[in-house]
């Protein structure tokens, strides 16, 4: 069974003439230990999709299940499920300014009831793995963009969540640090059998994923190297083709899907 299953997810913002359809009928399933890369240009709906997959935002239509449990941002159970099961690397980091790097990373563990010393030790080890051992006591305001991003990655990984969601995890990093961060993310996801979804506009990152799908104008399509079924379809056929493609992607059966193991 897939860990994370999004079914026909749509999301609109605003109403009337100002209505924006950020996502339009996206279906995606991610298995434990699988790394899926969603590539798309700015405004294609990547952050919206990740926020819905992580239970931070409600879809207008459609559903997301995590290990068979419906994620509903309105449900009282969802914050706990999210805390225990989802690691999120935010595009804008979302670090707490009053806390040190160490305290930021330890926070999800503390909220889960892990004793302070144990949480601090695990957080320090995670930060050291991301080359931030010298920054444990630094506040976010004193960190560079790349350092903040690595703190955010450490915070997402520290609790070994079942689902790892990363929004442009390399955007503030130089090429080498970016590759290291993504290799660490994907390596730990595979090792820990986590379902991992990363979104990016950078097609070079596709190489680290087991599966690559493209998001364009809120619709999920084939991989960049994939077949032309989706893009060649007539507009009226497109939505069905995309759904079929996404489902085939989900089952891993499509020859159009770029599959990279290991």
Ligand X SMILES: Nc1ncnc2c1ncn2[C@@H]1O[C@H](COP(=O)(O)OP(=O)(O)OP(=O)(O)O)[C@@H](O)[C@H]1O
C-beta of 46 vs 150, nearer to Mg ion: 46
Cα distances (angstroms) measured from residue 17 to each of 20, 21, 59, 219? 9, 11, 20, 21
Using the rule CB under 6 A, is 15 a contact of ligand X?
Answer: no
Binding site for Mg ion (CB under 5 A): 46-47, 91
| Site string (172-211) toward ligand X, x via CB under 6 A | -----------------------------x----------
Residues 6+ apart with CB under 8 A from 104: 95, 96, 140, 151, 155
Using the rule CB under 6 A, is 42 a contact of ligand X?
Answer: yes
Using the rule CB under 6 A, is 14 a contact of ligand X?
Answer: yes
Estimate the crossing angle of helix 145-157 against helix 101-111, to 10 degrees: 20
Is 26 in contact with 10 (CB distance < 8 Å)?
A: yes
- Full strand arrangement of the beta sheet holding 20-30: 20-30, 4-13, 61-66, 69-70
Hey, which residues between 119 and 158 contact ligand X (CB under 6 A)? Answer: none
Using the rule CB under 6 A, is 44 a contact of ligand X?
Answer: yes
In angstroms, what is the C-alpha Rg of the chain? 18
> Nearest approach, Cβ of 47 to Mg ion (angstroms)?
3
d(CA 60, CA 95): 28
Hey, which residues between 19 and 38 contact ligand X (CB under 6 A)? Answer: 20, 22
> Nearest approach, Cβ of 167 to ligand X (angstroms)?
7
Which residues lie near ligand X (CB under 6 A)? Answer: 13-14, 20, 22, 40, 42-48, 91, 201
């Amino acid at each position: 069974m897939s860990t994370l299953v999004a079914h026909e997810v749509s999301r609109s913002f605003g109403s009337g003439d100002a209505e924006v359809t950020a996502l339009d009928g996206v279906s995606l399933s991610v298995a434990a230990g699988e790394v899926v890369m969603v590539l798309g240009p700015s405004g294609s709906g990547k952050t919206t999709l990740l926020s819905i997959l992580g239970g931070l935002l409600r879809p207008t239509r459609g559903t997301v299940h995590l290990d068979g449990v419906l994620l509903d941002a309105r449900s009282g159970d969802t914050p706990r499920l999210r805390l225990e099961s989802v690691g999120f690397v935010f595009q804008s980091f979302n670090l707490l300014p009053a806390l040190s790097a160490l305290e930021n990373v330890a926070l999800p563990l503390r909220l889960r009831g892990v004793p302070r010393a144990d949480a601090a030790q695990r957080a320090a080890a995670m930060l050291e793995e991301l080359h931030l051992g010298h920054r444990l006591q630094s506040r976010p305001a004193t960190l560079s963009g790349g350092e903040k991003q690595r703190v955010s990655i450490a915070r997402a990984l520290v609790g070994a969540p079942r689902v790892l969601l990363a929004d442009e995890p390399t955007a503030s990093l130089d090429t080498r640090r970016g590759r290291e961060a993504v290799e660490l993310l994907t390596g730990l996801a595979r090792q820990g059998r986590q379902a991992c979804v990363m979104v990016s506009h950078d097609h070079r990152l596709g190489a680290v994923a087991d599966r690559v799908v493209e998001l364009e104008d809120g619709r999920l399509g084939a991989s960049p190297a994939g077949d032309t079924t989706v893009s060649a379809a007539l507009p009226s056929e497109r939505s069905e083709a995309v759904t079929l493609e996404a489902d085939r992607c989900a089952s891993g059966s499509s020859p159009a899907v770029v599959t990279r193991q290991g």
